[in-house]
Amino acid sequence: MTDDSFDSEAYVDELRAKRREKDDFFDTHPQSPIPPAERDAFDGLDYFDPDPEYRVSATVETHADPEPVVMDTSAGREVRYLRVATFHFELRGTDLELGAYQQEHEDTPTLFVPFRDKTTGQQTYDGGRYMELTPDVPLDELDDIVVDFNIAYNPFCAFTETFDCPLPPEENWLPVVVPAGEKKYESH
C-alpha 165/C-alpha 79 separation (Å) is 9
- What mean pLDDT is reported for the chain? 92
For residue 168, being part of any structural domain is answered with: yes
How confident is the model at residue 109, as a pLDDT?
Answer: 84
For residue 61, being part of any structural domain is answered with: yes
For residue 130, being part of any structural domain is answered with: yes
For residue 57, being part of any structural domain is answered with: yes
pLDDT at residue 166 is higher than 60:
yes
For residue 37, being part of any structural domain is answered with: no
The pLDDT tens digits of the residues spanning 94-106 come to: 999 999 999 887 7
Nearest to 172 by CA among 46, 92, 86: 86
Res. 4 pLDDT band, cuts 50 70 90 = low
Edge-to-edge strand list for the sheet holding 111-115: 129-133, 111-115, 94-103, 78-91, 55-72, 144-148
Number of domains in the chain: 1
Sign of CA dihedral 129, 135, 141, 146: negative
For residue 127, being part of any structural domain is answered with: yes
How confident is the model at residue 31, as a pLDDT?
Answer: 92
Bridge-based pairing of strands 111-115 and 144-148 is: unpaired
Q: Hey, which residues does 71 pair with through a beta bridge?
A: 79
Please give the single-letter amino acid code of residue 144: D
Q: Which domain holds residue 102?
A: 46-172
The pLDDT tens digits of the residues spanning 130-163 come to: 999 999 888 888 899 999 999 999 999 999 989 9
For residue 141, being part of any structural domain is answered with: yes
Res. 2 pLDDT band, cuts 50 70 90 = very low
How confident is the model at residue 138, as a pLDDT?
Answer: 86
Residues with Cβ within 8 Å of residue 87, at least 6 apart in sequence: 58, 59, 60, 61, 97, 98, 99, 100, 113, 145, 147
Distances 87 to 16, 44, 61, 112 between C-alpha atoms, Å: 26, 31, 6, 12
What is the average pLDDT across 85-112?
A: 92
How confident is the model at residue 1, as a pLDDT?
Answer: 46
Three-state secondary-structure class, residue 5:
coil
How confident is the model at residue 3, as a pLDDT?
Answer: 53
For residue 166, being part of any structural domain is answered with: yes
Nearest to 25 by CA among 48, 46, 42: 42
